[in-house]
Each structure stands twice: as structure tokens, then as C-alpha cells.
Amino acid sequence: MNRLTTIFLSLVMAVAVVGYFVGLGDGVPKPDGLYDSPLLDRELSATVASEVKLIPAVSYAEIASTPMGPTKPWQGMPQALPGADYDLYTKIEPSEAEKEASSKLRASRRAFNGAPPIIPHPVENTTDAACYACHSNGVKMAGLKASVMSHQFLGNCVQCHAPMAPAPFQDVDASVDTSFVGLPAPKQGKRAYQGAPPTIPHSQWMRESCNACHGGPHGWAGMESTHPWRTNCTQCHAPSATLDQMPEADIVPMLPPLDVVAK
Amino acid sequence: MMDSKRRNFLKSAAMAAAGSMVAGNTSLPVVHADQAVDDLPTGEGMEWNKAPCRFCGTGCHVQVGVEDGRVVAIAGDKAADVNKGLLCVKGYHVGGILYGKDRLTQPLLRQDDGSLKAIEWDKAIEIIAKRIFDSPETFAFYGSGQWTIPEGYAAQKFMKGGLGNNHIDPNARLCMASAVTGFLATYGVDEPAGCYQDLDECDVLITWGNNPAEMHPVLFSRVTDRRSRGETVRIIDIGTRRTRTTDAANDYLEMKPHGDVAISLGIMHLLIENDNYDKSFVEKHCNFRGAEELTPTLQGEQISEDDFRKRIAKYTPELVEELSGVPADSIRMLADLFGNHDIRITSLWCMGMNQHTMGTAINSLVHGVHLLSGHFGRPGDAPTSLTGQPSACGTVREVGTLAHALPGGRVVAKPEHREQCEGFWNVREGSINEVPGYHTVKMFEQFTTPTSDGGDITTMFVQVTNPGQTLPNLNALFNDKKGLEDKFLIVSDVYPTATTALADLILPAAMWVEKNGMFGNSERRTQQWFKMVDPPGEARDDTWMTIAIAHKLFEMGHEGMKDRDGDFIFAVKDDDGQEIPVWEFDRYYDTNVDKHLFEEYRLFTTMKHKNLAPYEEYVKARGLRWPVVEQEDGSWRETKFRFSGFDDPFVKEGQEFDFYHSSSDDGRAQIWFHEYAPPPEMPDDEFPMWLCTGRVLEHWHTGTMTRRLAPLNRAMPTAYVEMHMEDAKAANIRQGEVVTIESRRGVCDLPVWIDGRGRPPRGTVFVPFFDETKLINNVTLDAHDPFSKQPDYKKCAVRVVKKADAKVSS
């Protein structure tokens, strides 16, 4: 009897619970898109990251509540012991192929050489601090790379760097029919002779930190300096006056030649 | 409790978005590169040259990299004082605006069946000239704050000097007309006294209904970068919604629409009550003024300080809280800041205070707050009105391309001003009509009213602007109507727009560095650039169009196109005194027409002490702020702080301040009193929400240029309606869902962005107007300020309806 009562009561409870939830889901659509953000969804962000090799940036306020630990693909990988810290003196042999691949990727994010790169990952309405969290020193992890800022800290990152479309509008066709052809990245600097240090083939403005691309642990493959321990780049590599908007001079001004009288 | 099906759907939607990211969105969504370019640019032989940016009123200078006749790169100009080498995301990509695939390249005439047919330029000019010749008084010229100074000057001279017709008005009427009336009412002369240096030196920055983090980002980061350098700047944001500017602000004061009027009155009330206003400044340099009771004018009438005290006494913090929604304590906080003379306070405003049915009043009141508190005229102490267009100041306000104005701060109503202009132009006496022409709203009303019903504008020429998207209440003022078959709309533009869609004749225009030009920015800075590349196809300069039409009329024997000596009014002579036929386009660049027009225009500028330097000085400089005055050594000196004795050469010797164009003729500025009045349309049961319209960082104005730039369109591909989460929830509206915005005047369908980039409070929605496929101005109100005639785009009553429930769909 006791047992029957227990079964009966559990049935009643089960029905009540089921009924409660059925009652909740009365078939009327709830505005449940409100709180959804692909950026805040742990599972989704893991998928996004593994699929497209991107890590979503969230706003600074949301960092605390956002899973920032190892992503699923990372966890799925055979783990090795951490390697040694970045070694300045590892021999670096940049390859042309790597350089070309890096150039291509960089070019795909700029309208022309010198344009501020667009932001290639989703951002919500982030503050600068959220950008800075990854991009101040750069991050390299499992094939993902957050570039180092090549210029000093400036407020309002999205003033210059255009983000992806806001979350609700990412499937809107944003294609543009244009005949604009931007200046491509220069391939290399000029050398006065074989073995001479090459000149800097691009402007230095907003690219004050050479290591952002050319060295350190977070540079671009194929563009790294072979001598990252050297810190005063312009000691050997001459910049361009024209590209750096120095005062113009068509002819390099010189003193007149010596007035040597022929005998 | 999200069911798994829905979760999967969401996931796959996100994946699809993510997938497209890989294909296109992580890089730039460019459809194709141009086959026309045989050799890709290499950077070899690239030439750099300076130009002001084409977009907003900040007036940044860019360096334009040109190779093989094409713009291939842009850089911030390090020599430019405005932007110091930085730009914003629009400026960095400004070079691409020349290269949209659908540039207009030939004149197009609408046929009877509604199609467009390419015609020759000669034919186009002839058609226009004939229409004007047949009915000169029913012709109207609608221009813009993007007219270069010479373009606006040529249009002005053609209309007022040549045709004796004052129906010329600019889109700036919709943009900063109330700023002008505010300056005139307060100082007797237009344009800000301070300059951008105020942003480097202020301790407190107050943004009044202003979002410079997005709209004037270079100026705003000039302030926030000071913080990065360790300086302290307190930013106070007064607005009707949270924006990116709010993110950087120390204080956010959320006000009800029109609350700004109450807030400024409340501050002045407290300054007087606490007795901490700047008595010495007020005593020496200010008068008090109020509106006349019967017919208020811009001049107003002088009132005593006592009278002012009496009138303002009722605006206690408690009343202001009730009117504005801003807590009384915050009003006290603002008043205490203004009462502290040891700090420097700069106010910034733009469309929030200008697109306002009390625009003149609120502009005057905020100037009044600064004057009463003495926060004026020291670097960092400035009421600063920003402009949205690159030459709203230079062309519209200084050249005076407004229905009532003449160049150099003159007005058609004053006989001596007309006489002076007729003298400078050497046109016959009495050429200039003394009756002001139609202001923008009136002009379009008359154009879209059938002639038989008194619509006495029959031909309109639109240059450099897009009224089909920007006018308020488009259904009333622009959209297609019956009974207008005899009307003729001529539009000069660079791309197809909402305006060319209804045009009878479309003229392809050269733009930006495809022509010579001059702009004048928000801080009185006049800038110059040279043509660097050729325009595509048959596209031609707007100045040339005006001159060619004028010359055709001259040939047809129109008397107004002749000066007193019988010469063509735009005659340009070479060094040997031979006339250069600049009306023939292949001869147009035989000389620098801009320079000729500018040198003629300079003569007008000294009356209001807005002296300009010779053209060649601007060639050398990255702009110069007027008054630019020649020094004893022959150099030209610009002025940073107008009316301040330490900097302005026109202030009387020994004076600390001198408002030398005072409307009371005593060197004093006017502190105005205006009574608070509620907005003309408020939410009610039928239309329960406020609608505010505005802009976003990535797009400029109607998006005709920026929406053809891949990086910008990728970042902001569509207009949207920003909504509060609770409002969306209550109406069962989801993120991204397309809804219908309805007002008494029209409808517009838009996708919803709940808690988007800006966050409006409950009961308010915000829509940017850049998207030509989603015309929010079908919904807005055409009520306007009584003095400036500027409409209010910032507030009207709407309802947001799910599409299935909408009565009419747009």
C-alpha cells in the first residue's frame, strides 16, 4: 500500500512538473532572441573559434562571465609540455612562401597599404580595454593570433578599425561594387648592395612598433627580423622621407660645387 | 528553456554567418577589382598631395596618394593641426568614394515613358538655360554645405546678382541654421569664437545631445587621448540615449526631449541664486535679452538684469527635474561646475541642439550659460558648435548661400548690403531682390505643390545634396505626386540617389579631388586643394555647370548675366586681358577658376571681420582660421580666439574682450532668456514612442559615398531601429526582426537592434538615416524653428508595429 502511495505520489509530482513546463511552453513564441549572443554562448564560441579560427571579443564588463579557458578543440588536442619561453636567439630563416601568405592575409584586411586593418572577428559594443586585453602584447595560441598594436595606445579603437557587422545584421549582404584599387604592400626595402641593411619600404606613422609585425613572439611569419635582439631598428634601416610626410624636397639640397679653376 | 531545435537553428544561423565570415567578411567584401586597371599600383611614382577630407565638418586633412591618375592610398596628414596625422574610419577610406562602379558619367534626360536617355552636355545646358530664361522667377537653386566655397559663391552670384532671384537655399538649413541664429542672436555675428584648442585645454567637456565619439571621432579622441596621457578631463554627457560618448563620460544625464532648454535655464537660475556667476564679465561685456511679446524676432528686446532674474526665478532645480527628467542634484552639480571659475569648461553640440523646434532658443541659452558664468574666451572655456558638413561654415554661412543672405554676413533686406554686393559684382544697381527667397522646407513645398494651386517653383536645380532622402516628412515634401507634370527637377550628383530617382535631368558631377576646391570647417578654418585625378566619363565640375548655364543665358540675351560694362558676369581674363572661355569645359582648366572666384569673394569678407588671406596662402597651409590678417612683415596671421583681446587683432587695444559686432552696438554679447516650451508632437496613446534620428560612425549623411566603401559597408550594412529590451519584450519583438515604424506622416520598415550600439531608454527608438533603402524621413516631422526654419529630426511620436500588424507597409 505504502509503495503504491509512493508510486502514485511520484506520478502526481511528475505530471505536475511536466504540466508546469508544458504550461510554460504555451506555444506562443517568446522573445527569446533577446539574451542570445553567439559571443556569450560557451559551446557556440568554441565552435566558432574551432571552425573559423577566431576568438570573439566581448565587452570588458562581460569578460568575467565569459569562458576564457581552453577551447574544446584545444582540449581535444594532444597536450605537450609547454615549450621554453620565446628565445631571442633562435635562428630565424624567413621563407618567401610564408611571407607571401602573410602578406595576402594582411592585404585581405586593408583597403590599401597603410589603411587601418579592419577587425576580422565579431565584436560587441566593446570598450577599448577589451581590445587592449589581447592586442596590447599580442596572443598566439593554437594557430590563432591576435596582432600586437603597432602604435601607441589610442582611445576609441573603432574610430579607425572597422568591425564586422553588428550581430543581428551579419547575414546582410554588404558587398560593394567598386573599381578602387588600393596600394599593395611593398614587397621589400631597397639594398644599396648585397648585404646592406634594407631601407624601410613603408611609412612609419602608426607603425612605430616594428616588433608588431617583424619580430618578437607575435610577428608575421615570413616577415620576422632575423635579429630580434636588436632594438634600435632605424640605426640600420633608413625610413622614407616621402612616406613619412617629411618636408618636401625635389632635389636634395646641397652646397654649390667647389669653384676649381682649371690651370 | 530553449528547445533543442531552436538552439540548432540559432547555431546554424551563427555558423552560416561565421561561414560567410571566412568567405568574405574577415576580408573586405569587394565584388571585384577593376579590369580597367592594367597595371596594379606599385607605389613607384606615387605622388602625395594634401586635401581636406570630403566628409564631416571637423576638417581633417588627408594626404592623397595618386598613381597613374588614380587615388590608391590615403594617410592622415601629420602637418595638419586639426587631426595631427589621425583620421577616422571614413577618412582613411575616403579615396574609394571616387570608384563606385555606378558613378554617373553622362547627362541623362528623362523621357516621357519614364526612362532615361543619355544626352550631350550642350543639350543639357541648353535645356536648363531655356527653362530659366522662360521663367526666371520660378527657378530655385538648392545646394549644400558640401558645395566648395567657389561653387557656392558662383551659385550665389548667379542667382542673386544675375537672376535677381533669392530662391537659393542649402541643405545646411536642415543642419545648422539654428546654430547660425544662435550666434547672431548672442554675438551679432555668426560662427564660434573658440577653436579646437579648447578641446586640449578644457577640464570639463559637456556634450549636449551630441555623440562626438561617432560623429566627430577625431575631435573626441583628441579629448580622450589626453586621459591616456594622464590628464584629467571630466566628460558630462547630456542626451536622450546612451551612446559611445556616454561610454567615455564620467556623468550621463539622461534628459527628456527638449530637456536641454530646461537644463540651461536651471543652470542660469542657480548661478544667479548662488550668486556665483561672473559679475565682472557680465557687467563689462553682457546685456540681457528676451523675446518680444507680440512678434518675437532674432533681435529681441533688451531687458534689465532684474527682469532677467525675475523671469528665470521659476526654473528651480525641482521644476527643471520635472521638465527635463534630470535629477535636481545633477542640475546643481552642473551649476556648481559653471560657478567655479578655476576650471575650464567647453560645451560641444551639433544636431541635437540644432535640429530642434527651439533650436535658436537652446543655442542662445547655452551661449548664455557660458557668458553668465564667464566660461568664455579663455582657451578651454568655450561654447562650441560643431558642423556636420565639410563647408557648412565656409560656403553656407560665410558665402551666405541662404535665401535671405548675401556674401560676408550681409542680408538681402538691407539696402546698403545690396548696394555693396552690386558694387563688388559690378552688376547694375537694383539687380538684387530685396525680398528673401524660400527657405528649404518652403521651397520644396512650393515645388511639390501643383502650379495651379500656387506652387510657384517650377524648375529646381539640386547640386551636391540628396533632398530625396534628407528632407523631413518626405511624403509631403518630396515623394512622387500627381499634378506636377510641368515641374522640372535637375540634379547634379555623382551616384544614383533617392533624388536622382525623381529627377528629370541628371548631371554627372566631378567630386572631391577630381576638381579644385576650398572648404571651411567648424573652427573657421578655410582649406584649399587642387584637382589630382580626372573625373570619370563626362562628369564635370559643379562650378563649371553654373558658369555654363549663366553663359548660355548670356548668349540668349538675359540682361542679368551682363555686368555694368556689358561683360559676362563670370568673365575670366588672362594676363593679356583676353577672356578665357571657361564656359567651354575643355578650356575650364586653362586657368584656376577657383582662384579667380575666391579672390573676388575675399572682398566681401572684411565687413564682418572674417578676413581671408589670398588664395596662395591657403595653397601653402593646412587651412587658416579667419580672421587672417596681414602682418607688417607681409606674412598672414590666423586667429584662434575671436573676441579675446590676447589673440583677436580686431579687439580694441587694451580690452580683454570685445564683441565688436554686438547687436546692441555696445561691444557686448547678449544673454538670452527663453521660456521652456514642450515639443510640437509628443507620444500619446496612438503613437506612444519617441523617435530620434541620427547617424553612425561608419556612414556619412545619406551614405551615397560611404555605402560604396567596402570596409564601412561591411561594418554597418543596414539601417536599423534601436530599441530598449523591455519595449521589445512587451511588443514581442525579437532581435533582428523587421518591424514597421509608423507615424502620422508615413512608415518605414527596419530591422530591430535591441540594446544596440546606442541604448535608448524605454519609450524611445533611434534610427540612423543613412540607408537609402529604408527612408526614415518618410516618418519624421517637418515642424521647424520659427527663426532658423530648421526642422526637428530628433523627436516625433511613432509606434513600432510587428510587420504582420502594420496597416501599410513601406
Percent of chain A with pLDDT over 90: 16
The beta-carbon neighbor of A177 closest among B15, B87, B100 is B100
User: Among this protein's residues, is B537 annotated catalytic?
Assistant: no
The helix/strand/coil state of B51 is strand
- pLDDT score at B807: 65
Contact A176 B709 (CB under 8 A): yes
Contact B31 A113 (CB under 8 A): no
Sorted by where each begins, the domain ranges of chain A are: 113-164
Catalytic option among B106, B156, B389, B469: B389
User: Which of B181, B183, B189 shows the shortest CA–CA distance to B297?
Assistant: B181
The beta-carbon neighbor of A180 closest among B13, B48, B96 is B96
User: Among this protein's residues, is B159 annotated catalytic?
Assistant: no
What is the average per-residue pLDDT within A74-103? 78
User: Tens digit of pLDDT for each residue in B674-683?
Assistant: 999 999 999 9
Residue A50's pLDDT band (cuts 50, 70, 90): very low
* Counts for chain B of helices (H) and strands (E), in that order: 26, 31
Cα–Cα distance for residue pair A90/B757, rounded to 1 Å:
46
User: Tens digit of pLDDT for each residue in A140-155?
Assistant: 777 778 899 999 888 8
- pLDDT score at A185: 86
Cα–Cα distance for residue pair B235/B252, rounded to 1 Å:
9
Mean model confidence pLDDT for chain B: 93
The full DSSP string for B726-759 is HHHHHTT--TT-EEEEE-SS-EEEEEEEET-SSB
Contact A118 B714 (CB under 8 A): yes
Is the model's pLDDT at B260 over the cut of 60?
A: yes
Q: Domains along chain B?
A: 47-99 (3.30.200.210), 108-175+402-588 (3.40.50.740), 177-385 (3.40.228.10), 689-805 (2.40.40.20)
Mean model confidence pLDDT for chain A: 79
Cα–Cα distance for residue pair A204/B85, rounded to 1 Å:
12
What is the average per-residue pLDDT within B166-181? 95
- Please list every residue in chain B whose beta carbon sits closer than 8 Å to the beta carbon of residue A181: 33-34, 37, 40-41, 70, 72, 99
Cell of B780: 519624421
The helix/strand/coil state of B676 is coil
Cell of B770: 543613412
Is the model's pLDDT at B331 over the cut of 50?
A: yes
User: Tens digit of pLDDT for each residue in B625-673?
Assistant: 999 999 999 999 999 999 999 999 999 999 999 999 999 999 999 999 9
- pLDDT score at A46: 44
Q: Identify the weakest region by mean pLDDT among A9-18, A79-88, A207-216.
A: A79-88
Among residues 17-56 of chain A, which lie with CB inside 8 Å of chain B?
21, 24-25, 29-34, 36, 38, 44, 47-48, 51-52, 54
Cα–Cα distance for residue pair B324/B676, rounded to 1 Å:
10
Contact A52 B32 (CB under 8 A): no
Is the model's pLDDT at B508 over the cut of 70?
A: yes
Please state whether beta strands B47-52 and B61-67 pair in parallel, antiparallel, or not at all (unpaired): antiparallel
Is the model's pLDDT at B482 over the cut of 60?
A: yes
Residue of A nearest to B726 (CA): A34
Cis? peptide before B791, omega within 30° of 0: no
ipTM above 0.95, yes or no: no
Contact B714 A168 (CB under 8 A): no
φ, ψ for residue B508, nearest 5 deg: -80, 125
Is the model's pLDDT at B24 over the cut of 50?
A: no
Contact yes or no for B207/B237 (Cβ under 8 A): yes
Q: Identify the weakest region by mean pLDDT among A15-29, A58-72, B385-399, B500-514.
A: A15-29
The full DSSP string for B388-431 is SSTTIIIIIIIII-STTEETTTEETT-HHHHHHHHHHHTPPTT-
Contact yes or no for A71/A139 (Cβ under 8 A): no
- pLDDT score at B4: 39
Is the model's pLDDT at A261 over the cut of 50?
A: yes
Residue of B nearest to A158 (CA): B89
Shortest Cα distance, chain A CAs vs residue B515, angstroms: 18
- Please list every residue in chain B whose beta carbon sits closer than 8 Å to the beta carbon of residue A32: 2, 6, 734
Residue of B nearest to A153 (CA): B228
Shortest Cα distance, chain B CAs vs residue A92, angstroms: 28
User: Tens digit of pLDDT for each residue in B195-243?
Assistant: 999 999 999 999 999 999 999 999 999 999 999 889 999 999 999 999 9
Q: Identify the weakest region by mean pLDDT among A203-217, B398-412, B478-492, B739-753.
A: A203-217
- pLDDT score at A45: 43
- pLDDT score at B235: 97
- pLDDT score at A89: 84
Is the model's pLDDT at B718 over the cut of 80?
A: yes
Is the model's pLDDT at B14 over the cut of 50?
A: no
Cell of B484: 506636377
Is the model's pLDDT at B525 over the cut of 90?
A: yes
Percent of chain B with pLDDT over 70: 95
Shortest Cα distance, chain A CAs vs residue B101, angstroms: 5
φ, ψ for residue B44, nearest 5 deg: -75, 130
Catalytic option among B50, B90, B552, B640: B90
Is the model's pLDDT at A42 over the cut of 50?
A: no
Q: Can you say which residues of B are annotated as belonging to the binding site for substrate? A: 769
The Cα angle at residue B455 between residues B449 and B460, in degrees rounded to 5: 90
Q: Identify the weakest region by mean pLDDT among A242-246, B417-421, B559-563.
A: A242-246
The beta-carbon neighbor of A169 closest among B6, B21, B718 is B718
Is the model's pLDDT at B36 over the cut of 60?
A: no
- Please list every residue in chain B whose beta carbon sits closer than 8 Å to the beta carbon of residue A118: 28, 711, 714-715
Cα–Cα distance for residue pair B218/B362, rounded to 1 Å:
26
Cα–Cα distance for residue pair B169/B142, rounded to 1 Å:
5
The full DSSP string for B608-672 is TT-----HHHHHHSS-EESS-EE-TTS-EE--SSTTBTTT-TTSPTT-SB--TT-TTSSS-EEEE
- pLDDT score at B693: 97
User: Among this protein's residues, is B527 annotated catalytic?
Assistant: no
- pLDDT score at A80: 64
Contact of A109 with chain B, judged by CB distance below 8 Å, is answered with yes
Place of cell 607605389: B43
Contact of A208 with chain B, judged by CB distance below 8 Å, is answered with no
Contact B85 A21 (CB under 8 A): no
Who has greater pLDDT, A52 or A219?
A219
Q: For an interface test with B, which of A132, A169, A205, A248 has the most B Cβ atoms less than 10 Å from its Cβ?
A: A169
User: Among this protein's residues, is B57 annotated catalytic?
Assistant: no
Cell of A18: 511536466
Is the model's pLDDT at B388 over the cut of 70?
A: yes
Shortest Cα distance, chain B CAs vs residue A227, angstroms: 28
Shortest Cα distance, chain B CAs vs residue A198, angstroms: 17
Contact A183 B96 (CB under 8 A): no
Contact of A159 with chain B, judged by CB distance below 8 Å, is answered with yes
User: Among this protein's residues, is B176 annotated catalytic?
Assistant: yes
- Please list every residue in chain A whose beta carbon sits closer than 8 Å to the beta carbon of residue B752: 168
Contact of A232 with chain B, judged by CB distance below 8 Å, is answered with no
Percent of chain B with pLDDT over 90: 91
- Please list every residue in chain A whose beta carbon sits closer than 8 Å to the beta carbon of residue B533: none
Contact B74 A44 (CB under 8 A): no
- pLDDT score at A54: 61
Q: Can you say which residues of B are annotated as belonging to the binding site? A: 53, 56, 60, 88, 90, 146, 171, 175, 351, 355, 466, 492-493, 515, 542, 693-702, 769, 777, 794
Q: For an interface test with A, which of B35, B74, B89 has the most A Cβ atoms less than 10 Å from its Cβ?
A: B89
Shortest Cα distance, chain B CAs vs residue A126, angstroms: 10
Among residues 185-204 of chain A, which lie with CB inside 8 Å of chain B?
186, 201, 203
Contact of A137 with chain B, judged by CB distance below 8 Å, is answered with no
Contact of A217 with chain B, judged by CB distance below 8 Å, is answered with no
Is the model's pLDDT at B315 over the cut of 80?
A: yes
Cα–Cα distance for residue pair B247/B757, rounded to 1 Å:
11
Contacts of residue A100, Cβ cutoff 8 Å, sequence gap at least 6: A222
User: Among this protein's residues, is B511 annotated catalytic?
Assistant: no
Residue A122's pLDDT band (cuts 50, 70, 90): confident
User: Tens digit of pLDDT for each residue in A160-175?
Assistant: 999 988 888 988 998 8
Contact B30 A176 (CB under 8 A): yes
* Counts for chain A of helices (H) and strands (E), in that order: 6, 2
Among residues 88-107 of chain A, which lie with CB inside 8 Å of chain B?
none
- pLDDT score at A32: 46
Contact B1 A21 (CB under 8 A): yes
Contacts of residue A109, Cβ cutoff 8 Å, sequence gap at least 6: A117, A118, A120, B26, B27, B28
Residue of A nearest to B20 (CA): A171
Contact A178 B217 (CB under 8 A): no
- pLDDT score at B26: 62
Cα–Cα distance for residue pair A261/B8, rounded to 1 Å:
92
C-alpha atoms less than 13 angstroms from C-alpha of A237 in its C-beta half-sphere:
19
Residue A229's pLDDT band (cuts 50, 70, 90): confident
